[in-house]
Amino acid sequence: MTKNPMRRGGAVAAVATVLSLALAPASFAAGGPVPERPVTTTSQDSQPLPTSPAAYELGEELAGLSGRQLEVSFLAAIIPHHRNALAMAKLEREHGADPRVRDRAGNIISGQQHQLDRFTRWLRDWYGLTPQQARDQAPAEVREEMAEMDKEMRQRVDELRRTPAGKHFDTAFVRRMIPHHSAGIALSLEAQSRAVHDRLREAASTGITAQQAEIEDFRDWLARRG
């Protein structure tokens, strides 16, 4: 597939805009008082991990698709993405210490499980496909980027599993969830604007809005910890 630099530039610029908005102080302060003696962290710990380059590449590949192929490929990509978010959020609920971060993890579990169930059902109802069958039908370039992104997501989940419980776990979770949400936004841009089914466009838009809000919250939390 010939890559379209204009399409990719638009996707990267859109995600960059989301991230720049997320730098502003946000709503964690509303969730409770700011600790008088915040935990000391290194400058590295106050920054999120980088967003997977494969997410931008996959967003570019989706920009070259349309109709059934766009929807099937998007759903094949976003379903494992949500599964990994659920895995990290459940680990935070089990091992995290900060009640505000654990509450956000609970919101992620409920919101992304709801979307995951809908996306799996729509694949079956609209196209008669399981997630694995949808993946098998995606173009080769899309499958390649999905495999790379899946590898990076599994690595970050494994890293989180090896993190000691407590306050350091909270930081490790937040630093990984911010780029995970950024990747989800990059994947959802084309579905939001060009999916065939109205319900899928609306769900992609809702997902972008929710992930943007959580990025803002998590960045604010990191800034206060740092």
180 residue type, one letter: H
Please write the tens of the pLDDT for every residue from 144-202: 999 999 999 999 999 999 999 999 999 999 999 999 999 999 999 999 999 999 999 99
Largest distance between two CA atoms of the chain: 55
Split at pLDDT 50, 70, 90, the class of 121 is very high
- Distance between CA 108 and CA 99 in Å, rounded? 14
Q: Could you give the domains of the chain?
A: 43-225 (1.20.1260.10)
Question: Do 104 and 224 contact (CB within 8 A), yes or no?
Answer: no
Please write the tens of the pLDDT for every residue from 14-34: 555 544 444 444 444 434 433
Q: Which of 22, 12, 28, 170 is nearest to 105 (CA)?
A: 170
CA separation, residue 173 to residues 49, 100, 124, 161, 164 (Å): 10, 13, 32, 10, 11
State if pTM tops 0.75.
Answer: yes
Eight-class DSSP state of 31: G
Q: CA angle, 107 as apex, 43 and 179 as ends, to 5°? A: 35
Share of the chain above pLDDT 90, in %: 78
Q: Which of 75, 77, 73, 71 is nearest to 52 (CA)?
A: 77
Please write the tens of the pLDDT for every residue from 53-88: 999 999 999 999 999 999 999 999 999 999 999 999
